[in-house]
Amino acid sequence: MCNLRDCPPLKTERRDGLTPEQPARWEQLIHQAGEHYGRNRWQCVQLLEQARRIDDGHAGLHYLLGECYDALEMYDKAREAYIRAKELDICPLPILEEMNQAILETADRTGTPVVDVRRIFEMTSDHGIPDNRYLLDHVHPTIEGHQLIGAALCGELIRQGIVHPVDGWKEVRKELFQKHLDSLDNLYFLRGMERLEALRCWTQGKTDGAVSKKESS
């Protein structure tokens, strides 16, 4: 699972093998697309697609395409572009498509039960594109995301006959979820945001924002 809509690639670069003229033309198209980004998304798409034909290996370009197709309500193309951006990220923290497929195929071959959290997140996200609702960064679930995972695991245990719920258990679960959320103070969320910022600094080669091992324990 990964946050496709609300987390741009951490690191991007242009592909090797471009002619001396192509980088300048690529930059020109990207600049022109930026001028149309907030006013005419379709024109922005046309320019980005021209840039993509010059360099199809730039993760940031695909992410911008995803945002534009998203805004144009072309959700299949948006999802395809977001996934491509994730796959081309130079610092690929989210699981890659071939890795996810390998897990599912191994589980199927060995008869191992799987709770497909990625599929669950996609089914419950707007237009099948996971965003900040369930993932606070590229890969880490929000509290609501963790609750969704917990509910899915519980459902699988019930399906297998390992757990036998009593009447009213879903209401009790909901109360416990809320009780735990209410127990978290502002400092808890502040520390989480600090660690998230430290991660972003790390991806940019900065150490000033790094959280020490002692602080993160």
What are the tens digits of pLDDT across the range 118-155? 999 999 999 999 999 999 888 889 889 999 999 999 99
205 pLDDT above the threshold of 70: no
What is the distance between the alpha carbons of residues 107 and 93, in angstroms, rounded to a whole number? 23
Q: Is the separation of the CB atoms in 50 and 129 below 8 Å?
A: no
- DSSP code, position 212: P
CA distance 163 to 74: 42
CATH fold group of domain 1-111: 1.25.40
Question: Which residue type occupies 25?
Answer: R
Domain segments of the chain as ranges: 1-111, 112-216
Distance CA 63, CA 83 (A): 8
pLDDT in tens, 54-100: 999 999 999 999 999 999 999 999 999 999 999 999 988 888 999 99
- CA distances for 175 relative to 114, 170, 179, 181, 189, angstroms: 27, 9, 6, 10, 21
pTM of the model: 0.83
* Whole-number pLDDT of residue 207: 56
Q: How far is CA 118 from CA 101, 154, 177, in A?
A: 11, 16, 22
The predicted structure's pLDDT at residue 204:
61
